[in-house]
Structure formats: structure tokens, C-alpha cells
Structure 1
Amino acid sequence: MHRTELLKKLLPGFIPLFVFIAADEIWGTKTGLFVAVGVGVVEMIWVAVREKRFDKFILFDTVLLVALGAVSILLDNDLFFKLKPGLIELILVAVFAVSAFSKVNIIGLMGKRYLKDVQLNEVQAAQIRKSLKTLFFVFAAHTILVFYATFFMSKEAWAFISGGLFYILFGVYFFVELFRQKRKQKALKNEEWVPLVDETGKITGQAPRSHVHNGSKLLHPVVHMHVLNRNKAILLQKRPESKLIQPGKWDTAVGGHISAGENLEQALQKEAWEEIGLKNFSAKLLQVYKWESDVEAELVYLFVTQDFKNYTVHSDEVVEARFWTKNKIENQLGQKVFTPNFEHEFQLLKEKGLV
């Protein structure tokens, strides 16, 4: 889910506050207070009927408005009247500040109420936090301007700054964010997308391939296959020096991502052909395990095959492929000849008695 979509879904929790700001500007404090409280009550009833729960956040928002409105009416003071929009916005800024810069994510807690069917991955959560930081700085600056206008500017200037400018800033931010997301989607349109999974293999979403290799640690599935001959030697491929991850090292004969929409068999057949020209083979699933490096997190489906006769190096994905004996591999373990992932899998093959 994109940040703009999440923002649209979270807005109901702030509706009484926004209604009060608008109604106060149009009809005055008393009418604005009644309208905002009415909206808050209707919203609480709607949530109670539709979702069968009591929303404490809406209640807090509504009670806070009653308190501020009551003080304003009782004091009947022009200065307090002019400060009131800034005080209300200050609360909103505080919510953004706590959510963006601390471990207590108030917006996130609201999200659990309003977005029960939505699961955010780590990258999306980071994007939301980045948006909250932006909103904090934008509205903190606006709040300071409201206080400045209260004491040092004309009533007309104060009216525009405390009212119309607030909605203009919010609208500009929303549409700028929407434009950025559209551009981002366009740029990623032709990129390969991969599924995101949990540790049981259940698909939880999808992401562009570049996003799972940028340190985000988004868990995604991959297929690996070891090719063994009758003497239990292992076919290894040498990675090109141009590779981003583990360049120039010897690695598992077949390894690659499962693309969005592919199943295990399709991905394995595709990767085996692309990397070592192998087709029409049978393979056995040996183990499923999670592998994490500095730049990514993978759920690895590890296969083994003894169909090796037709392999050939025919693409720039592989520099060389040849069989290695168990002894030759063991003599060079830990010397940066092999990828750490292969060394881990070599131990698995030994434990299973396959080499």
C-alpha cells in the first residue's frame, strides 16, 4: 500500500478535529463545537455498529475539542480565540512528532484500528515514518506561523494563515506525494517483481527486484539446485565480476529468484536453463531455509538433481561451470573462494550424506 493510500485510510481518526477547525472559521466557536462533537458521536456510532468496537481515539479527539471549545467560550477572549487554531494544530504536530521520532507510533496504533486487513512490510513502514517526519516539519512551521500571526500580524492575515493556508499546505503535500508515487510506479513498471513471503512461505505481497536487494531485508523466495554426478562431485558455477553480490566467487550451480506469478517448478526450470542450459531434468526438494546477508533476506528452496549430462554455459550470467570433489572444496573453505551461501549449503549436503 502506498503512503497516499494509507493516509486516506487514516484520516477518519482526525475528522472531528478537521471539522472543528473548518466549522469554527465559518460559524464560530459554539456552532463549530456542536458540529464537531456531533460528527465525533456519529463516527463512534458508525464504528461501533460496523466494526463492533469502541474507538477510544475518536472519543479522545472529541473530548479534547469540547475542552478547548469550553475554555474559549468561558474566557470569551480574543487572544485565546486567535491562539486556538494553533493550539489545536500543536496537538496534531505532537502526534506526528511522537509517531515519527519515537518508538510509540500513534499513527501506527490508529492504523491497526482502521486497517485491520492491511499488513505493512518494513519498507512501507519506513516510507510511512518518512512521510510523518515531512508532515511534522510542514505543520510545525505552520503552527509557528499561526502563533506569529496572532501577535504580530493583522486579523485578516491571521485568518488566512490559521484557516485557508492549513488546507492549502495539506492539499499541496497530498498531491505532491501522489505525483511522486505515480512517477515511481512508472519507473518500476518494466522492472521484475518478486513475491514477498513470511517464513512459512505464505505470500504477503510483492516488490520490485531492486527493493529486495537494497538492505530492506524483505523476505522473498528463491530456488537453488545442486547438481551431483555419480561420484558425488558437485557442479559449481563461477559468478561474473560484474555481479553486485559476491562477484567472482564459486556458487551453487543454479540459483535465482521466483518471479511474481511463478510457482517453484516454473522458477527452477527457468533458472536451470538460463544459468547452466539444463532442461528435462528431475529434482528433489531437499530443504527450505532462511538466508540473510547484508543486503537481502531470502527463503531458499533447496533442490538436488543428478541429471547433469546436458549442462552447458551459454549466458553471461555464468563465467564457468565445473565439478568439484568434496576434498577439493573442503581444502578451500573459508578462503573466500566460495560464496557464504554455498558453504552453508555444502554443510547441509554433508549432513544429508549426499557428498
Structure 2
Amino acid sequence: MELIDILDENGKRTGEILPKREAHRHGHFHASTHVWLYTKSGKVVLQLRAAIKPNFPNCWDVSVAGHISSGEDAVQTAVRECKEELGITIKSNQLQHIGRFRIDYQHAEDYRDREFITIFACEILEAPLQVELQKEEVADVTLVSLAQVQAELADAELAKKYVPFNKAYAVEVFEKLNDLFC
């Protein structure tokens, strides 16, 4: 059972700690992290969410994502999740902080995602991409140009194969990733 710190509407810890499932069931704010793995040639790693995931199964998503466990910080979580989900070892000094974003989605009557997401980018070598997938979380990975991702997200039919990205999140993150490709 993963325990997470509950946050107030401004992203500050309240002192309450709950199981992740309870935080979602009651719609409490909590913290998570995203890591966008990228290459200098303009490609990003996307993960295909496992079919058993409760939300957005079999959809392409950010390279790595995870809830910040109680007592952890965003950097620790990013490093841990890269290793757990993809078997990729990164060091904290490789992470480039590119933003913080607040989301509030009601996925189901008993599942509300209210998160403050700390977003990192991390450069990787392009070839070969060597991963060890956490099968409960990740079904596959791909290395694809960010331009292709952006084009597919702009097409209503193609966008269905992705976890829905908040438009403001996508604009901010993709702009910062494009700056890193230079």
C-alpha cells in the first residue's frame, strides 16, 4: 500500500498521510512527478500504459510518471520511478526541472485525480533504447519525434491513443522540450 502526503489547494502539505487509493477516492490533492526522457534529435520516450491500469489502460503516456510517496521529494520519486517502470538508472543531477502543473480530473464517481505534478526532462542516448518494463505498469515503450506526438494530439482521432494531456500542460512542456533539443 503506497502512502502519500495530502496537500492543500496551494500544494502545501497538510500533515495528513493516506493510502493513494483513498486520496483518489476522496479527491484529495497530492503530489506526483513526470519525467520526459528525450534525445537531442527531438525524440521522446513514450510508455504504453498496461491493460490492467484503472485509468487510461493501453494509452500512450509520458515517459515515466508516479506519485510522490510520503517522505519523498519529487527528485527522489523521479529517479525511483525511472528505475521501477523502465529499468533506467538516472542520477538526480541529470534531471532538468521544466515545470509544475496542477490538474483536477474526475475519472469516475470514486476516482478523482487532483495532483500537483513536478515535471522533469532527462536527456538519454538515442540508440539503442534499453529498458526493463514493469509489466504491471507498462506494456511497451517507443521513441518517437515530439513533432509526431504534437501532430497526433492535434488530430481528434489519433489523440484517442494517448492519455489526455491538458492543453496548457502540453503547450508548456512541449515548448520547453523543444528548447532542449537545440
Which residue pairs with 1:314 in the alignment?
A: 133
Q: Deviations over 1:260-319 (max 9, x none)?
A: 111222211111101111113311111111011112101100001103566503321211
> Which of 71, 82, 87 in structure 2 is aligned with 1:277?
87
**SS of equivalent residue, structure 2 residue 98:** strand
2:24 pairs with one of 213, 221, 239: 213
- Change in Cα spacing, 1:318 to 1:344, as seen in structure 2 (3 Å) is farther
1:137-286 superposed matches below 5 A: 191-204=1-14, 205-214=16-25, 216-281=26-91, 282-286=94-98
Aligned to 1:113: none
Q: Partner of 2:114 in structure 1?
A: 297
Given that 1:277 and 1:314 are in contact with CA atoms closer than 8 Å, whether structure 2 keeps it comes out as yes
- Calculate the aligned-residue CA RMSD, in Å: 2.0
1:168-227 CA distances to partner (integer Å, 9 max, x unpaired)? xxxxxxxxxxxxxxxxxxxxxxx221001124432102111111222x220000010101
Task: Give the CA deviation at 1:342.
Answer: 7.1
Higher helix share: 1
Q: TM-score normalised to the size of structure 1?
A: 0.43
Contact 1:313-1:320 at 8 Å conserved across structures:
no
- Distance in structure 2 (CA, Å) of the matches to 1:324 and 1:345: 19
* Equivalent pair of 1:313/1:321 in contact (CA under 8 Å): no
Once structures 1 and 2 are overlaid, which stretch shifts more, 264-273 or 221-230? Answer: 264-273
Structure 1: unaligned runs, 5 residues or longer: 1-190
Normalized per residue, the structure richer in strand is: 2
Aligned length: 164
Q: Distance in 2 between matches of 1:225 and 1:302?
A: 6
User: Which AA in structure 1 matches 2:98?
Assistant: L
SS of 2:173 mapped into structure 1:
helix
**Structure 2 stretches lacking a partner, 5+ long:** 107-111
Instruction: Pick which of 318-327 and 307-316 moved more.
Output: 307-316
Q: CA 1:211 to 1:332, structure 2 compared with 1: closer, same or farther past 3 Å?
A: same
Per-residue deviation, residues 68-105 of structure 1 (Å, max 9, x unmatched): xxxxxxxxxxxxxxxxxxxxxxxxxxxxxxxxxxxxxx
Counterpart residue type for residue 321 of structure 1? V
Cα distance in 1 for partners of 2:9, 2:50 equals 30
> In the alignment, is the contact (CA less than 8 A) between 1:199 and 1:299 conserved in 2?
no
The change in CA–CA distance for 1:243 and 1:344 in structure 2 (over 3 A counts) is: farther
Computing the radius of gyration over CA atoms, which structure comes out larger, 1 or 2? 1
TM-score, normalised to structure 2's length? 0.81
